[in-house]
Amino acid sequence: MNKPKIGVVGIPGKWSTEVLADRLEEQTGFRAVIDMSQVELRLDTNQLMFHDLDLMTLDGLIIKKISEVYSPATEDRIHLLSYAERSGVKMFSPTHSVGNLINRLSGTLALQQGHIPMPKTRITEDAEQAFATVREFGSAILKPLYSTKARGMMILQQEDSDEAVRDALEKYRQNQSIYYIQQTVKLDGRDLGMVFVGGEYLCTYARVGDKDSWNTTINSGGRYELFEPDAELIELGRRAQACYDLSFTTVDIALTDQGPVVFEVSAFGGFKGALEGCGIDAASAYVNYVLHAVGWQVSDLKESKQQEVKQHD
């Protein structure tokens, strides 16, 4: 069997994309970082081209990052990849799973149907209902349907005036089709990223927030630390990610005064939290999982490399 050729759909130059491509190249000798903005589907020839590379000829594609910013256009890119998937190219994660998580609403509904504890959440198109919900919740967060790393989120405080709340709701709706409103929860200054590879638990890290920011994201000055969860918390993370069929993911969990809640399950998940918080090379773990899934054992790759060295000598 020839060495597998696995491409990485990602953002060229971004650390998580490049480190994943590095780990694949170390194992297989093949490297391809695919920018979806430069991909062309040729239905007349049954090709999915990225420059001179036909993605239909690959053994698999790892969807590390399908776009820099989530938007409805991101779903168009998923449709292109699903064409290759239906033709036999293995996708990590499957396109239907990624598609369910690009839109925050569909991802939330899957968690709700899986009976996963979440903060109180209301969704409506009606501005007056949205206003009443914010006032009922006291403090609330408006979340865009397409966003990552808290981008575009707006926090409304209990002490905000009615006029300020209405202004915020109007501003939010200018770029959103629907109000997605979530009640704020009391954190201890951190939330958790629980990492799973192929549905198996790998590790958990904490994102510790900057005291000057309302969220704990690294973009807002947070930092990573190791966290050792108990079996019950790991089981919660396992149940949350099991609502989807994901090859690699991070489950965002918050420890609150009313028990743990799940904020979201990532469509892709990053590697830096596991590396800096847990000291674990999650990219390597993911590559080993993918190579096994396409029918190639890591030991086979090592043996192949040794044979190449002998032939060269």
Whole-number pLDDT of residue 211: 57
Q: Is residue 223 located within the same domain as residue 253? A: yes
* Whole-structure pTM value: 0.86
Q: Is residue 194 located within the same domain as residue 256? A: yes
pLDDT tens digits for range 215-248: 445 554 578 999 999 999 999 999 999 999 999 9
Which domain covers residue 196, as residue numbers? 186-286
Cα 77 from Cα 81, distance rounded (Å) = 6
Cα 64 from Cα 92, distance rounded (Å) = 8
Whole-number pLDDT of residue 301: 53
Residue 97 has pLDDT above 50, yes or no: yes
Residue 123 has pLDDT above 80, yes or no: yes
Is residue 217 a part of any domain in this protein?
Answer: yes
Q: What are the structure tokens assigned to 212, written together? A: 């000057």
CATH number of the domain enclosing 148: 3.30.1490.20
pLDDT tens digits for range 188-207: 778 999 999 999 999 999 99
Is residue 109 a part of any domain in this protein?
Answer: no
Is residue 47 a part of any domain in this protein?
Answer: no
pLDDT band at 305 (very low <50, low <70, confident <90, very high): very low
Cα 144 from Cα 262, distance rounded (Å) = 17
Which residue among 144, 161, 183 closes a domain?
183
Is residue 155 a part of any domain in this protein?
Answer: yes
Whole-number pLDDT of residue 308: 41
Is residue 59 a part of any domain in this protein?
Answer: no
Angle at 215 between CA 180 and CA 120, to 5 degrees: 35
Is residue 245 a part of any domain in this protein?
Answer: yes
Q: Is residue 164 located within the same domain as residue 216? A: no
Whole-number pLDDT of residue 199: 96
183: helix, coil or strand?
strand
Whole-number pLDDT of residue 269: 85
Q: Is residue 127 located within the same domain as residue 201? A: no
Is residue 213 a part of any domain in this protein?
Answer: yes
pLDDT band at 304 (very low <50, low <70, confident <90, very high): very low
Q: Is residue 246 located within the same domain as residue 259? A: yes
CATH number of the domain enclosing 216: 3.30.470.20
Q: Is residue 222 located within the same domain as residue 152? A: no
Give the amino acid at 121: T
Which residue among 130, 164, 183 closes a domain?
183
Q: Is residue 193 located within the same domain as residue 176? A: no
106: helix, coil or strand?
helix
**For residues 268 and 231, which has the higher predicted lDDT (pLDDT)?**
231
Q: Is residue 195 located within the same domain as residue 152? A: no
Whole-number pLDDT of residue 188: 78
Is residue 134 a part of any domain in this protein?
Answer: yes
Task: Please answer whether residues 168 and 154 qualify as being in contact, where contact means their C-beta atoms are separated by less than 8 angstroms.
Answer: yes
pLDDT tens digits for range 145-178: 887 667 789 999 999 999 999 999 999 999 888 9
Cα 24 from Cα 231, distance rounded (Å) = 32
Rounded to an integer, the average pLDDT of 182-191 is 87
Cα 271 from Cα 210, distance rounded (Å) = 21
pLDDT band at 209 (very low <50, low <70, confident <90, very high): confident
Q: Is residue 203 located within the same domain as residue 225? A: yes
Which residue among 162, 183, 204 closes a domain?
183
